[in-house]
Amino acid sequence: MNQYNVAVAGATGAVGTEFIRLLEEREFPLGSLRLLASSRSAGKQITFRKEKLTVEEMTHDSFQGCDIAFFSAGGARSKEFAPSAVKSGAVVIDNSSAFRMEPEIPLVVPGINDNDLHDHKGIIANPNCSTIIMLMPLAPLNRLSPVRRVIVSTYQAASGAGALAMQELIDQTRRSLQGDVLDPKVFPHPIAFNLFSHNSKVDEDGYNEEERKMIQESRKILHNPILRISPTCIRVPVLRAHSESLNVEFEHRPSLESVYHALQNAPGVVIVDDRTGNRFPMPIEASGRDEVLVGRIRHDLSNENAIDLFVCGDQILKGAALNGFQIAETLIRRGLLENWKRHHELSVAFHSH
Amino acid sequence: MNQYNVAVAGATGAVGTEFIRLLEEREFPLGSLRLLASSRSAGKQITFRKEKLTVEEMTHDSFQGCDIAFFSAGGARSKEFAPSAVKSGAVVIDNSSAFRMEPEIPLVVPGINDNDLHDHKGIIANPNCSTIIMLMPLAPLNRLSPVRRVIVSTYQAASGAGALAMQELIDQTRRSLQGDVLDPKVFPHPIAFNLFSHNSKVDEDGYNEEERKMIQESRKILHNPILRISPTCIRVPVLRAHSESLNVEFEHRPSLESVYHALQNAPGVVIVDDRTGNRFPMPIEASGRDEVLVGRIRHDLSNENAIDLFVCGDQILKGAALNGFQIAETLIRRGLLENWKRHHELSVAFHSH
């Protein structure tokens, strides 16, 4: 069996750390592993399978001999370094928003639109965390009966803003309990015992960037450019699992049985819907889990063609690192990584003549 | 000017405490004040305007000479004692859900349906907190253009479950930060750094009691028995202000200017909608405030006749005690308390002959 050399760009961040943990703990045909970060983090040591690896500063030459590069170092660094990685022959799986809406770059949630991977040209984009978690139940339901319109309100964890934001939630909550003045640094507003509208730029029609991502990325992934979605993205004092309240309107009224059946058979989705025990998806139960939890499944009393759902998913796992990892697994399983290597070698041979 | 003798039933609870604070701090033609609670709390001393008042055990005779009784001691106690208070000649303003859907009992949000007070027969019901906070912007918009359908997802504070629930959020968060096992007592699930579907009974169509209250009470208050509402009620780790994400569909598309104008002129509503500064309603800013904060005001991109809003309101104030207090103020201002006293005296005189 082939082995693949992997680079993790942004190795010291919340998502980078999770990529490393996935490579360590799961079955993966790993050759070498190279950990890359900014000069600030270079020199740090990270233990991987009992071996100490040193974090290197990312340069344009960092990707020599690399087959897969997981990028999670912010959009600016992806734009700067991903093309170099591709030139070196690697396939880049990019967790930033830098390339997601580029028409020629696949934006993929494994299990939903794997076939889009076949058109890749070296870079594959990992969708926004809120988009992925929403689509996990939405895509199988859209196959059951075409979705017309989605109203979604999110309850987003601190992790979506990175490891420092998670630390800010913890530290600020501790200070708040001591009666100290809250002093936000990472977030623009206090997060301890508070919540606020997502801190991304608000455009002139009143939606913020996070909401716009949910609309545009969902349309691209579901291949439905006219899908109507109205998201409201809210940050809540939760550590690492996003929740979303979904109202989904279909072309035709689906039976509740068919909705249950579609969700039960959807890979990566687990139904948590115990009406008698009042047990539904909760962030603390979704945290650390691969699957997205779905519950509160019911017909909407206000529209006979709509259903309501409540969803929780680990923002760092399926919302980010796990989805990227599954993209790599799908590329390998479908022979697309081998194709890319062959393509690259031919291209190098051609250009050297 | 007349003075009124007031009783607070449930004087040691979260809402009862706030009733007392309102009577202490605001202008109110207060005669005497009697504090009532269960036998467990009887004997406690509460300082009111520098005077120590002793909490008495509530009995059927507690309301002699009382003009207004604020009840906030749970539905069972309201059902047991409110009729005795009415027989004693008091007007009961009841914060429980015991009487809200009784057709002959007014359910009132002052500023929205004050005229319904004129039909009272001794008991006036204070609506559910989530209902009040939603209706504060919804009612003025409904006057602007008839509302057809509302999709609402709530972010409900611990205070909605009482003072002990607020304490549980604080204590459990402290324990969670120390790495201790969480051990929920008041709530059925951990609330520290978590959220969960509202812990009220779920009925066979999948909606819980809290959601059903929002539907039924809104219809009664707005005098629109066919208003279509689909709520999803979620408890979040916030102390005392509820937030709600609203999608409101109208018969006709309202201009954004007319929506702003209607909300600007709505008493008790304050617009917080700074798109450039990314400043919108937040629970920590709504806490302790009389007004309900409204922001994220925008046309829904998924439906041309709908708008989206994000609302925060203090659950204990406008969501409960302040609304009840305003009911009392309205009764006084409209002479309805005097009418009731006269009616009661005549009735006593008639029956004693």
Per CB-CB distance under 8 Å, the chain B contacts of A173 are 173, 177, 193
With a cut of 70, say whether residue A1 has pLDDT above it. no
Computed over every residue of chain A, the mean pLDDT equals 96
**Cα-based angle B110, B116, B118 (whole degrees, multiple of 5):** 110
Per CB-CB distance under 8 Å, the chain B contacts of A299 are 205-206
Kindly state the average pLDDT of the residues B22-37. Answer: 96
Q: Do A236 and B155 touch (CB under 8 A)?
A: yes
Q: Do B195 and A308 touch (CB under 8 A)?
A: no
Kindly state the average pLDDT of the residues B40-47. Answer: 95
Residue linked to tokens 């005690």: B321
Taking CA atoms, what residue in A is nearest to B237? A193
Kindly state the average pLDDT of the residues A184-212. Answer: 97
For the annotated catalytic residues of B, the residue numbers are 129, 242
Residue linked to tokens 């202000």: B241
Q: Are B261 and B183 in contact (CB under 8 A)?
A: no
CATH number of A130-314, picked from 3.30.360.10, 2.160.10.10, 3.40.50.300, 1.20.1560.10: 3.30.360.10
Q: Do B173 and A170 touch (CB under 8 A)?
A: no
With a cut of 80, say whether residue B351 has pLDDT above it. no
Residue B54's CB is within 10 A of a number of other CB atoms, namely: 11
Q: Which DSSP category does B159 fall into?
A: G
Residue linked to tokens 């929506």: B259
pLDDT band for position A353 (cuts 50, 70, 90): low
Query: Of A66, A120, A198, A242, which residue is the catalytic one?
Result: A242
ipTM for the predicted complex comes to 0.95
Taking CA atoms, what residue in A is nearest to B171? A177
Which residue in the set B234, B296, B298 is minimally distant from A245, CB to CB?
Answer: B234
CA distances from B241 to B182, B185, B308 (A): 23, 21, 20
Computed over every residue of chain B, the mean pLDDT equals 96
Distance from CA of A285 to the nearest CA of B (A): 9
Q: Are B332 and B4 in contact (CB under 8 A)?
A: yes
Instruction: Please tell me the predicted confidence (pLDDT) of residue A3.
Output: 95
pLDDT band for position B88 (cuts 50, 70, 90): very high
Taking CA atoms, what residue in A is nearest to B238? A193
Do the domains A4-98+319-352 and A130-314 sit in the same CATH topology, yes or no? no
Instruction: Please tell me the predicted confidence (pLDDT) of residue B343.
Output: 87
Q: Do A173 and B173 touch (CB under 8 A)?
A: yes
pLDDT band for position B353 (cuts 50, 70, 90): low
Q: List, for residues A205-219, the tens digit of each pLDDT value.
A: 999 999 999 999 999
Residue A185's CB is within 10 A of a number of other CB atoms, namely: 11
Kindly state the average pLDDT of the residues A194-203. Answer: 97
Q: How far apart are CA B82 and CA B121, in angstroms?
A: 12
Per CB-CB distance under 8 Å, the chain A contacts of B255 are none
Instruction: Please tell me the predicted confidence (pLDDT) of residue B181.
Output: 81
Q: Is the dihedral of CA B188, B189, B192, B193 positive or negative?
A: negative
With a cut of 90, say whether residue B133 has pLDDT above it. yes
Distance from CA of B97 to the nearest CA of A (A): 20
Q: Do B308 and A245 touch (CB under 8 A)?
A: no
With a cut of 70, say whether residue A159 has pLDDT above it. yes
Q: Record the tokens describing residue A177, joined without a space.
A: 């309990």
Q: Which CATH superfamily is domain B130-315 in?
A: Dihydrodipicolinate Reductase; domain 2 (3.30.360.10)
Per CB-CB distance under 8 Å, the chain A contacts of B308 are 206, 230, 232
* CATH code, residues A4-98+319-352: 3.40.50.720
Entry pTM: 0.96
Which residue in the set A189, A197, A297 is minimally distant from B206, CB to CB?
Answer: A297
Q: List, for residues B218-251, the tens digit of each pLDDT value.
A: 999 999 999 999 999 999 999 999 999 999 999 9
Instruction: Please tell me the predicted confidence (pLDDT) of residue B111.
Output: 96
Kindly state the average pLDDT of the residues A34-38. Answer: 97
Instruction: Please tell me the predicted confidence (pLDDT) of residue A183.
Output: 86
Q: Which helix (H) or strand (E) holds B133?
A: helix B129-144
Q: List, for residues A126-136, the tens digit of each pLDDT value.
A: 999 999 999 99
With a cut of 70, say whether residue B83 has pLDDT above it. yes
Distance from CA of B14 to the nearest CA of A (A): 18
Distance from CA of A255 to the nearest CA of B (A): 13
**Percent of residues, chain B, with pLDDT higher than 70:** 99
Instruction: Please tell me the predicted confidence (pLDDT) of residue B87.
Output: 95
Q: Do B229 and A301 touch (CB under 8 A)?
A: yes
Query: Of A129, A198, A233, A312, which residue is the catalytic one?
Result: A129
Per CB-CB distance under 8 Å, the chain A contacts of B298 are 205-207
Please indicate whether residue A120 is annotated as part of the active site. no
Instruction: Please tell me the predicted confidence (pLDDT) of residue B347.
Output: 84
Outline where chain A has alpha helix (H).
14-25, 75-87, 129-144, 163-177, 209-221, 256-264, 283-286, 322-333, 336-352
Q: Do B275 and A243 touch (CB under 8 A)?
A: no
Per CB-CB distance under 8 Å, the chain B contacts of A238 are 193-195, 237
Taking CA atoms, what residue in A is nearest to B206? A298
Q: Record the tokens describing residue B23, joined without a space.
A: 């009577």
Q: How far, in whole angstroms, is CA B149 from its chain's centroid?
A: 22
Which residue in the set B206, B296, B300 is minimally distant from A197, CB to CB?
Answer: B296
Which residue in the set B245, B283, B300 is minimally distant from A194, CB to CB?
Answer: B283
Domain boundaries along the sequence of chain B: 4-98+319-352, 130-315
Q: Do A280 and B308 touch (CB under 8 A)?
A: no
Cross-strand partners of A317: none
